[in-house]
A and B are shown apart, each in its own frame.
Chain A
Amino acid sequence: MKLPQFEYACPTTIAEAVALLAKSGGTAKPIAGGQSLMPILAFRLATPSLLVDLRKLPGLDKITIGKDGVRLGAKVRWRDIQDDERLRTAHPLLVAAISHVAHYQIRNRGTVGGSVAHADPAAEMPGIAVTCDAEIVVVGPSGSRTIRAAEFFVAPLTTKLATDELITEIRLPSWPAARRWGFEEFARRRGDFAMAAVAAFYDRDERGHAKDAHIGVIGAGSTPRRLTPAEAALNGRPVDAAAIAAAAGAASAAVDPPDDIHASAEYRRALVGTLVERALARAAA
């Protein structure tokens, strides 16, 4: 499982990195932490001509918290999120989800930008991005553009990112302190990709009823997605056992998971319902 041949470059500016990607005509790949890319290379599932190492690019490793929300530089690592005390109030859902990402060593190198670019349908960060209506900021030869997370993920391991573009930032909208939320994941073992996971949150109107509910799921389809029917089952209602059951039922009905070696589609469909139920019970508690 030795890696295939490639050339290597380690540019010091984003412009230089983008130029290298563009010059390769789509055969180069960026590498940051490499925690998703390296196994793919080891299995020779990808054979890039050139790896463009992003480690010297300045300014992409900051976590910025402001009135407009949380901005994660693309090179922010999992451990940076876990170590940042501010995020526990600024975005508790993000922190909870990230605690399920891989293992200790991987968290020391894996980055949010890498995870989003890799677009594994069972990965937490893409799921949080979609659930929270995040924006993905990318830069290419003709400058920068912003893509809504809901549109960014196209298929397993496929995104709207062009081969000559780099992710620079993930913007999560601001998180009201009173927001109710829950995150539930089930994996075969701790740190494995999720069999399925559910991120759920809602705000409350003056009657205490749910409003603006967001329920996102990973691991149960080709991309992370929000479960609009489940959200609809919640909005405008008190979050009680009946509403939770309705949302869970709607969630199960809304997903179309695949069969694979770890679980049947039926199981995953039921699991999504169970996880929605548990995430909402936690949110309402």
Chain B
Amino acid sequence: MTQSAMSVRFEVNGKPAEVKVEPRLTLADCLRHHLRLTGTHIGCEHGVCGACTVIVNGEAVRSCLMLAVQAEGAKVVTVEGLSRDEELSPLQASFRRHGALQCGFCTPGMITTAHALLTEEPTADADRVREVLSGNLCRCTGYVPIVEAVLDARAAYRKPGREDRT
């Protein structure tokens, strides 16, 4: 019952990666166990919880619903790629300030999703933030502080001259 392993090349957090994987390996498992990027978490493996969200070619995707072999040639960004050196990014700092995490398990998916959203829509309003984050389950916070944290982080993504929608 062995499967032919396939060689896959893509870019992760700005660096090239090459892995040999079975076709059945998900991108989530590939990142976690082949590339040791364990910040991407697996909470359900059936595309509901959002903990495994990563950014592929600029768009947030569920890495449990994508095969590693489908990432050939893609640019993948994980939570580990969202803060340089020892500083928290403005989004991460906002999460901390607002108490937007407790156990931290859903947090990487929240951060990657919110980062993708604010990069595309830096003036997203509370309803839009709630709509987008409704694809990411959190069992600890009740979401109220997460939404506040994302709204509060918008300024860091905004180009000068644009106002928040409220």
Secondary structure call for the A interface: loop
Chain A residues, Cβ within 8 Å of B60? 104-105, 108
Distance (Å) between the CB of B142 and the closest chain A CB?
Answer: 15
Interface membership of chain B positions 64-95, coded 1 if the CB is closer than 8 angstroms to chain A and 0 otherwise: 11110110100000000000000000000000
Chain A residues, Cβ within 8 Å of B1? 5
Distance (Å) between the CB of B136 and the closest chain A CB?
Answer: 8
Chain B residues, Cβ within 8 Å of A104? 60, 113, 117, 131-132, 135
Known: A8-B6, A109-B65. A2 touches B24 (CB 8 A): yes
Stretch of A22-30, A32-40, A88-96, A177-185 lying at the B interface: A32-40
A34 to B23, CA, bound (A): 14
Whether the pair B65, A191 counts as a contact (CB closer than 8 A) is no
Known: A3-B26, A7-B23, A104-B113. A35 touches B65 (CB 8 A): yes
Chain B residues, Cβ within 8 Å of A35? 47, 62, 65
Whether the pair B135, A191 counts as a contact (CB closer than 8 A) is yes
A109 to B24, CA, bound (A): 18
Distance (Å) between the CB of A118 and the closest chain B CB?
Answer: 13
Of all chain A residues, the one with the shortest Cβ separation from B59 is A108
Whether the pair A39, B135 counts as a contact (CB closer than 8 A) is no
Chain B residues, Cβ within 8 Å of A55? 70
The contact of A43 among B4, B46, B61, B131, by CB within 8 Å, is: B46
The contact of A38 among B6, B23, B47, by CB within 8 Å, is: B47
Known: A4-B24, A6-B24, A38-B47. A102 touches B64 (CB 8 A): no
B45 at the interface (CB under 8 A from A): yes
Chain B residues, Cβ within 8 Å of A105? 50, 53, 60-62, 113, 135
Chain B, interface residues (CB within 8 Å), range: 20 to 34
Whether the pair A8, B67 counts as a contact (CB closer than 8 A) is yes
A42 to B43, CA, bound (A): 13
Interface membership of chain A positions 92-115, coded 1 if the CB is closer than 8 angstroms to chain B and 0 otherwise: 000000000011111011000000
A189 at the interface (CB under 8 A from B): yes
Whether the pair B134, A190 counts as a contact (CB closer than 8 A) is yes
Known: A190-B131, A190-B134. A109 touches B66 (CB 8 A): yes
A4 to B24, CA, bound (A): 7
Distance (Å) between the CB of B63 and the closest chain A CB?
Answer: 9
Query: Which of B26, B47, B132 lies at the interface centre, i.e. has the most chain A CB atoms within 10 A of its CB?
Result: B47
Interface membership of chain B positions 38-53, coded 1 if the CB is closer than 8 angstroms to chain A and 0 otherwise: 0000000111001001
Query: Which of A3, A51, A102 lies at the interface centre, i.e. has the most chain B CB atoms within 10 A of its CB?
Result: A3
A1 at the interface (CB under 8 A from B): yes
A231 to B135, CA, bound (A): 36
Distance (Å) between the CB of B43 and the closest chain A CB?
Answer: 11
Whether the pair A8, B69 counts as a contact (CB closer than 8 A) is yes
A-B CB proximity, top 4 nearest: A103-B135, A8-B23, A3-B24, A39-B46
29 CB-based A-B contacts, threshold 8 Å: A2-B24, A5-B1, A6-B3, A7-B3, A8-B67, A8-B69, A10-B69, A10-B72, A31-B67, A34-B70, A38-B47, A38-B65, A38-B67, A39-B65, A41-B24, A42-B46, A42-B64, A103-B50, A104-B113, A104-B117, A104-B131, A104-B135, A105-B50, A105-B53, A105-B61, A106-B65, A106-B135, A109-B65, A191-B135
Q: Could you tell me which B residues sit within 8 Å of A by CB distance?
A: 1, 3-4, 6, 22-26, 29, 45-47, 50, 53, 59-62, 64-67, 69-70, 72, 113, 117, 131-132, 134-135
